[in-house]
Chain A
Amino acid sequence: MFLIRLTFTISILLSLLAANLAAQQERPEFTNEQIDFFENNIRPVLVSKCIECHGPDAQEAELRIDSREAILKGSANGPIIDLAKASESLLLQVISHEQEIQMPPDEKLDAKQIASLKIWIELKLPWPKGKQGEITKFDSYDTIRRKHWAFQPVQSGFPLPTVKDTNWARSPLDYLVLAKLEQAGITPSPEADRRTLMRRLYLNLLGIPPTHEQVQNFINEPAVDAYEQLVDQVLASPQYGERWGRHWLDVARYSDTLGYNFQRERRFPFAYTYRDYVVRAFNQDIPYDDFIRQQLAADLMTLDDSRNLAAMGLLTVGRRYRNEQLDTDDRIDTVTRGFMGLTVACARCHDHKYDAIPTEDYYSLYGVFASARIPAEFPQIQSAEETIGYPQFARGLAVIQKELDAYDTKRAGEFTTLFRDKVLDYFVRAVGRPTEEQIKTIEQLTVRDTDIRRGQVTAWQTYLLQTIAENDPFFGILKALATVDAAKFQSTETMLREKVAALAEGTESGQINPIIKQAYLNTPPESVLELALMYATVIQQVHVDSQKEGTQLSPAQQQVHQHLIADNSPTAVTLANVTKFYNRADNNTRLGIVRKMDKYKSTTPGNPPRAMVMEEKPDPYNPVVFIRGNARRRGEAVERQFLYAIDGDDRQPFQQGGGRLELADKIAHAENPLTRRVLVNRIWTHHFGASLVASPSDFGVRCDKPVQLDLMDYLSTVLLDNDWSIKELHKEILLSATYRQASVDRPEARAVDPENTLLWRKNRQRLEYEAFRDSVMYVTEELDFRMGGLSEELTNSATNNRRAVYSFIDRQDLPGLLRVFDFPNPDSHSPQRPITTVPQQALFVMNSPVILERAKRFVQSTTFQQIEQTQRLEFLYQKFFQRQPAEEEVQVANQFFASWDTSGDEPKMDAWQQFTHLLLMTNEFMFVD
């Protein structure tokens, strides 16, 4: 992106060369002119074309070009510069692309760049002294910061352009638009009629049309500020938050599921609390800077409403990759593209290819997000008492909890019995550690290796090691021999035998248990395995004896028996430790119940809502660059700090904890050149159906300066002047003459500006899926206005008529219907929805029970049935389009009814139902003028 112009003339060239006469030694003194030549013509080439492979990060062919010394040192192929004979320099041959080695490999430098390099060599490589002279990637970043439009401060207070038609303009916005129109020789379109305006406002802001009565009232309203009043009224409607909240949920890649998980419940039980927060934030007009802060760091803020904690769902409703690095990447991407229109995530594996985002900056942000974690349990944001339906919910939950406990209890009992009955098998394995071959030879073993619960083997080992004293009357022999090397076993055992023989029999400390003494002296073991078998046999015998009816165990037997039946026995399995002994099958059974519980919690009303927050880790994460994005290749350490692209050299490392709140402050800062513009562009897009900046989430260098930058900056200033109020921003736009224009085509204007870039009319907009569906429900009097709460399956439901914003969104299996209606992929932040026209959309409207049922039921309803036959057509037009049918339309309708064939079977939908249905299918219903 460097415009390198060889602007030097012959005379400058001569003066450059003349100065060179003084520069014969190794490090000549260069003149200012020569240094300027370097800065203007050479540095940009080195930075943009060479340094990536021949700089600090990589030294292909052992060549570096980031200092004069390094260049003179040359490459693996020898010197690349010949100061004596400049034209013979290897560098010049290589960049000529005429030799075998061709640099840069992908694209030859242009002629001017090659010429400059040649002159530069002839000048003996002029290069500034000291640190200034270092070539770094920040050179090019600095150029971008200084030159790219989006990084320049938002302009405010600039004089309004003069326009000829001063009557038309209602606000500064209109002046900016009109000036460009007049320049192009186009006049703006006339104001739309009141019905059109009101439909436009309702559908754009609320996602449902007004009623006929409301339209009539507005048309007949004499007040001069009738329109302004209407705008206020519409913005105050709770349906506004549902409509505009959904726009934000696209940005936030909202979904009700975590993505792929084979065994666990995939639903997030509390994702809806984020959705409800967003809807409420729009309705309450939470200032946009706070909206940003709360979504990033509500946990670190003082909140006047604890429900605002749910704002942090922005960070947690993304896909869970079961990989912290990828989860963090998704957060960085959503936050940076969503708020600032910067594609920071591109810098995960390498410096950004185009923008001023070094990979270090990616890891600076990585450090911020990796310093936070998802808590073991999310904080409750509403008490159980306040939660409607809690008692029923709790009862249902208790039933599943009981089922889970019952399973664990049953298994604990079974394990206890099993581990005692099969104590010989477990003890031998725990102490004797027999090989597979040895196991085959021990005939006392009855449990197959594959059926062994490893947890019980370990439990015996831990017990003997940690609980049993060296001089234990029963286990003393084992403690003395179990860890002896095979080579020394014999000798150690012989010495021990004498000691044991001398010990007094008894069950007190310092004595020896007579049962084990006898067993030992009868057949002294020759290996640890035999030792294990000896003990195991004794223990098992006591266990067997204890089970015989009417047996009274001797004190010696009782001492052995205690190791099996005491509370701390390895064989004592309780609810607390039972899962340690579960194999895959047990776990699957248990997970089945856990999944049932999780599903219950995620789908049953009455579960007290919780906020999907993150919290600071006890110690902040100190980031390092992961080379090429690979967490195992740790590069240099970086600070947790903001982006160079915005803060430049002035930036300071974040100070408080992980720095999340400081990051939020940086994004929500009045001087951040991107944040307000990005928001203004998003809002504009929804109002006009076209963007000021065509890539709403990429304001980087590949994004050209928008034609309407002044307009964007003006609105950004309006936002700031009104304390970041989004509703005030809406008003500024909605009250403008620009917004109020008619959408009718004007060929003469179209000839000049076919894309309507200059805004000579209001674009006609097609309703998104949600607004279309909700409108169908609304005009047929079936829309269910209940707000908030758990998401529900709505897309294919012909009976659940809540607003579409409450649809259950499964990112792992997004309903096909949503896909065909351009609903964005919820796996990553969506800059804007595409607008496609595919037959599946039409098939839905033509054939889906979701739509058909509405027509059927509406015609059956008392509302409709009580209308006189002759009034029905008019009634439908008023209901659906807030107007009377035109004569031509009446004729078409009459022909439809006249041609109705009454012979044959009674159709499932009668004439009025079919006609009602087709009105819902019309373009008039689907488009906003």
Chain B
Amino acid sequence: MTRDNGIYHSSPATLTGISRRELLARSGTGLGMLGLAGLLGDDALLGRTQAADSNNPLAPREPHFEGKAKHVIHIFCNGGPSHVDTFDNKPELTKHHGKPLPFSNLKTERKTGHCFGTSFSFQKYGESGIEVSELYAKTAAAHIDDMCIVRSMHADVPNHEPSLLLMNCGESTLIRPSVGSWVSYGLGTENQNLPSFIAMCPGGYPIKGAQNWQSAFLPGIYQGTYINSQHRDIEKLIANIRNNDIPLNQQRRQLDTLQRLNEIHKAERGESPELDARIANYELAYRMQLEASDVFDISNEPAHVIESYGASSPARQMLIARRLVERGVRYVQLWHGAGQPWDNHDDIEKNHRRLAGQQDSALAALMSDLKRLGLFDETLIVWGGEFGRTPVVELPTAGANQGKINGRDHNHWGFTVWLAGGGIRGGQTYGTTDPFGFRAEENPVHVHDLHATMLHLLGFDHKQLTYRYAGRDYRLTDIHGEVKHDWLS
């Protein structure tokens, strides 16, 4: 599928030699009217619309081939979780604890010192017998045979900002669309009443803020919608989500009139994506009011379900993520917290225990829930950070750390990401780091490869999912990326 600023070349209309745009022009209607018509019908209120034939940029669309995954939940441990303390056991490292590495330390952001063995115990789980640390005991005990642990990830630089952008947008400095935006662009969404792509982060933004879920040159409709999941009151979750003066039915009438006036305005001006976008935006906003109130209100869930996830914000938003996926939201990204909570340059034992503690039950519950609801096989779960952490201890630097010599620096040379659910062959590990866990060694996987594989799971050839912008066809993986078929079921 290739599109040129909103023209869908491979759409059925193209097959008959007429572009969708021309088709719409001929039928004397446009985006706004279609949005209206679709919405006024009862279908809209039922949630999942199948407005496949509309010009709505978020209408569900078929990918290149049938993908196993239909939704993505990306659990982002921002700051960088330590792989040697979680999913990549390194007995050699423990053996050399306090001694220098037998090879020179790889260059990371800060000064590092001797080997720093993990403080956590590892144990084999499931039929696959994959070793996981105590930090994720519940997740591993329940689901390890459905998880694919990729231990040989690597990125480009040991700094948060570029690595965050690389992991999210496939490019560390230039402005490029995020994975969620690409997926929304490629697949549309199943529920027109909610944003296609939601980024939740309790308490504020991660580093780099909204850039992490930017749509860049893709239409703004594909940008992630940020939700501060710390709040429970819907009016605090999404500002202006309610109108306290105009009841909904009257507002609907108001918007219908508005859109008719907008159509008259547009008719005199010809092709105008920016006008279309704002017309569509009112419809999205209107629908959001209805459905958002419900989906974010987890009080309807049975007490035992809420309990199984846990009380922390990172846990609660996993439950919300499940509710979003149930309602057809395409891409949900869950950030652990504002700033970079996993960036444990000091006190890694204490901090990782706390952070993983906020996730373990919830991850286990989330996957169990998805299995129970029959959604596990169509939901791709990705867990990881922007990079991992060094197997060697970080040395004191005033201002940069607290000088406690009990933390780890950033490590882009090698780290772990795991995937589960839609299309993933579980119960396997893929690739290795060296015996100390510093550098990806066997079957190294670059972030571009991860992206290529994620798109493949969703039914896209990452080389074909492109967008024409300023004279060039852009894609998520630029000129890189290799699908890792070994991960697939």
The CA-CA distance from A844 to B269 in the complex, in Å, is 26
Partner of A844, one of B220, B239, B260, B272: B239
B243 within 8 A of A: yes
Q: How far is the CA of A117 from the CA of B240 in the complex (A)?
A: 66
CB distance from B452 to the nearest CB of A (A): 20
Please indicate which of the listed interface residues B4, B254, B288 has the most CB atoms of chain A within 10 Å of its own CB.
Answer: B254
Query: Which residue of chain A has its CB nearest to the CB of B204?
Result: A813
What CA separation (Å) do A848 and B238 show in the bound complex? 12
Q: A837-B281, A840-B225 are in contact. Are A846 and B251 (CB under 8 A)?
A: yes
Interface residues of B in 450-464 (CB under 8 A from A): none
Contact status A764-B246, CB under 8 Å: no
B13 on interface, CB distance cutoff 8 Å: no
| Cα A311 to Cα B266 with chains together (Å) | 44
A-chain residues with CB within 8 Å of residue B243 when the two chains form the complex:
846-847, 852
CB of A744 closer than 8 Å to a CB of B:
yes
Nearest Cβ on chain B to A430's Cβ, whole angstroms: 32
Say yes or no: is A754 at the interface (Cβ < 8 Å to chain B).
yes
B374 near A: Cβ within 8 Å? no
User: Does B221 belong to the interface (CB within 8 Å)?
Assistant: yes
Residue of B nearest to A899 (CB): B253
Contact check, A909 vs B285: say whether CB atoms are below 8 A apart.
Answer: no
Count residues on chain A whose CB falls below 8 Å from chain B CBs.
57
| Contacting pair A909 B245 (CB below 8 A) | yes
Asked if A837 contacts B219 (CB within 8 A), the reply is yes
Q: B231 → chain A, closest Cβ, in Å? A: 11
Task: Tell me if A844 and B278 are in contact (CB < 8 A).
Answer: no
Query: Is the CB–CB distance between A917 and B254 below 8 Å?
Result: yes
Residue of A nearest to B260 (CB): A892
B64-79 CB mask vs A (1 if < 8 Å, else 0) is 0000000000000000
B286 is an interface residue with CB less than 8 A from chain A = yes
Which residue on A lies nearest to B247, using beta carbons?
A907
A-side interface mostly: helix
Q: Which residue of B lies closest to A895 (CB)?
A: B257
Q: Does A888 lie at the interface of the complex (its beta carbon under 8 Å from any beta carbon of B)? A: yes
B481 touches A (CB below 8 Å): no
Pair A886/B264 contact, Cβ less than 8 Å: yes
Is there contact, CB below 8 Å, between A747 and B270? Answer: yes
Q: How far is the CB of A738 from chain B (nearest CB, A)?
A: 19
Q: Are B225 and A838 touching (Cβ within 8 A)? A: yes
Chain A 868-911 residues near chain B, CB threshold 8 A? 886, 888-889, 892-893, 895-896, 899, 907-909
Identify the closest chain B residue to A742 (Cβ): B269
Q: Which of A766, A893, A895, A908 contacts B245 (CB 8 A)?
A: A908
Minimum Cβ distance to chain B for residue A733 (Å): 22
Is B195 part of the binding interface, using a Cβ–Cβ cutoff of 8 Å?
A: yes
Contact check, B254 vs A841: say whether CB atoms are below 8 A apart: no
Q: How many A-B residue pairs have CB under 8 A?
A: 151
Does the CB pair A914–B240 fall under 8 Å? no
When distances are taken between beta carbons in the complex, the residues of chain B under 8 Å from A843 are: 238-241, 285, 288-289
Query: A908-B246, A921-B258 known; A837 and B265 CB under 8 Å?
Result: no
B288 contacts which of A755, A839, A888 (Cβ < 8 Å)?
A839
Query: Does chain A have a CB within 8 A of B303?
Result: no
CB–CB B269/A918 < 8 A:
no
Q: Tell whether A750 pairs with B285 under 8 Å between CB atoms, given A837-B219, A892-B257, A914-B254.
A: no
Q: Which residues of A contact B261 (CB under 8 A)?
A: 889, 892, 918-919, 922, 924
Task: Report if A323 contacts B (CB, 8 A).
Answer: yes
* Complex Cα–Cα for A532 and B226 (A): 67
With contacts A836-B215, A838-B281, A896-B257 taken as known, whether A847 is within 8 angstroms of B242 at the C-beta atoms is yes
Residues of B contacting A820 in the complex (Cβ-Cβ under 8 angstroms): 239
For B242, the closest partner residue in chain A by CB is A847
Residue with the highest number of chain B CB atoms closer than 10 Å, among A744, A747, A764, A840 = A840
Q: Are A918 and B215 in contact (CB under 8 A)?
A: no
Taken residue by residue from 263 to 277, chain B's Cβ proximity to chain A (1 for < 8 Å, 0 otherwise) reads as 011101111101101
Contact at A846–B399, with CB atoms within 8 Å? no
B-side contacts of A669, CB under 8 Å: none
- For chain B residues 213-263, which have a beta carbon within 8 Å of chain A? 214-215, 219-221, 223, 225, 238-247, 250-251, 253-255, 257-258, 260-262
Chain A positions within 8 Å of B221 at CB level: 837-838
Indicate if the CB atoms of A847 and B265 lie closer than 8 Å: no
User: Bound state CA distance, A677 and B411, in angstroms?
Assistant: 41
Which chain B residue shows the least CB distance to A851? B240
Which residues of chain B come closer than 8 Å to A744, judged between CB atoms? Answer: 268-270
Query: Quick check: is B209 within 8 A (CB to CB) of the other chain?
Result: yes
For the complex, give the distance between the alpha carbons of A747 and B269 in Å: 11
B121 lies within 8 A of chain A by Cβ: no
B265 close to A909 (CB less than 8 A)? no
Selected from A834, A835, A840, A923, the residue in CB contact (under 8 A) with B240 is: A840
State A923–B264 Cα separation when bound (angstroms): 10
Residue in contact with B278 in the complex, picked from A837, A888, A893, A915, CB distance below 8 Å? A837
Q: How far is the CB of B27 from chain A (nearest CB, A)?
A: 17
Q: List chain A residues, Cβ under 8 A from B239.
A: 816-817, 820, 840, 843-844, 848
Smallest CB separation, B371 vs chain A (Å): 32
B254's partner among A743, A746, A839, A918 (CB-CB below 8 A) is A918
> Could you tell me if B257 and A918 are in contact, using CB atoms closer than 8 angstroms?
yes
Complex interface: chain A residues within 8 A of B254 (CB): 896, 914-915, 917-918
Assess whether B120 is interfacial by the CB under 8 Å rule: no
For B282, list chain A residues within 8 Å (CB).
842, 846, 921
Known: A746-B270, A892-B260. A825 touches B209 (CB 8 A): yes
Shortest distance between the CB of A755 and any CB in chain B (Å): 6
Residues B240 and A846 in contact, CB atoms below 8 Å apart: yes
Docked-complex contact A754 and B5, CB < 8 angstroms: yes
* Contact bitstring B83-125, A, C-beta under 8 A = 1, else 0: 0000000000000000000000000000000000000000000
Please tell me if A463 contacts chain B, counting CB pairs below 8 Å: no
B46 within 8 A of A: no
Chain B nearest CB from A45 CB (Å) reads: 23
Q: Which residues of A contact B258 (CB under 8 A)?
A: 918, 921-922
A914-B281 CB under 8 A given contacts A819-B210, A892-B257:
no
Q: Counting CB contacts under 8 A, is A182 at the interface?
A: no
Q: Which of A835, A899, A929 contacts B220 (CB 8 A)?
A: A835
Contacts of A848 in B (CB 8 A): 239-240
A856 to B246, CA, bound (A): 11
> In the complex the two chains form, is A926's CB within 8 Å of B278's CB?
yes
Task: From known contacts A838-B220, A927-B275, infer whether A892 and B264 are also in contact, taking CB-CB under 8 Å.
Answer: yes
Q: Does B284 contact A (CB under 8 A)?
A: yes
* CA A744 to CA B267, docked complex, whole Å: 10
CA distance A323 to B400 in the complex (A): 12
A745 on interface, CB distance cutoff 8 Å: yes
Complex Cα distance, B255 from A892, in Å, reads 12
B362: A residues at CB distance < 8 A: none
Contact B241 A847 (CB under 8 A): yes
Give the shortest distance, in Å, between B9 (CB) and chain A (any CB): 14
Q: Which residues of B contact A895 (CB under 8 A)?
A: 257
Instruction: Find out whether the CB atom of A907 lies under 8 angstroms from the CB atom of B246.
Output: yes
Q: Which residues of A contact B356 (CB under 8 A)?
A: none
Q: What chain A residues lie within 8 Å of B219 (beta carbons)? A: 837
Say if the beta carbon of B373 comes within 8 Å of chain A. Answer: no
Interface pair B265/A923, CB less than 8 Å apart: yes
Question: Are A846 and B285 in touch, CB under 8 angstroms?
Answer: yes
- 1/0 per residue, CB under 8 A from A, across B145-172: the answer is 0000000000000000000000000000
28 contacts between A and B (CB under 8 A): A745-B272, A750-B271, A755-B471, A766-B278, A836-B215, A836-B220, A836-B223, A837-B280, A838-B220, A838-B223, A840-B225, A842-B281, A843-B241, A843-B285, A844-B240, A846-B251, A846-B285, A847-B242, A849-B244, A889-B264, A892-B264, A896-B254, A914-B250, A917-B246, A918-B254, A923-B265, A923-B275, A929-B269
Sample of 13 more A-B contacts, CB < 8 Å, known A817-B239, A922-B258, A924-B261: A745-B270, A764-B272, A819-B210, A837-B280, A839-B288, A842-B278, A843-B239, A846-B240, A847-B241, A852-B245, A852-B246, A915-B254, A924-B262
Interface pairs A-B: 9 shortest CB-CB: A745-B270, A842-B285, A837-B220, A836-B220, A839-B285, A843-B240, A847-B243, A847-B240, A908-B245
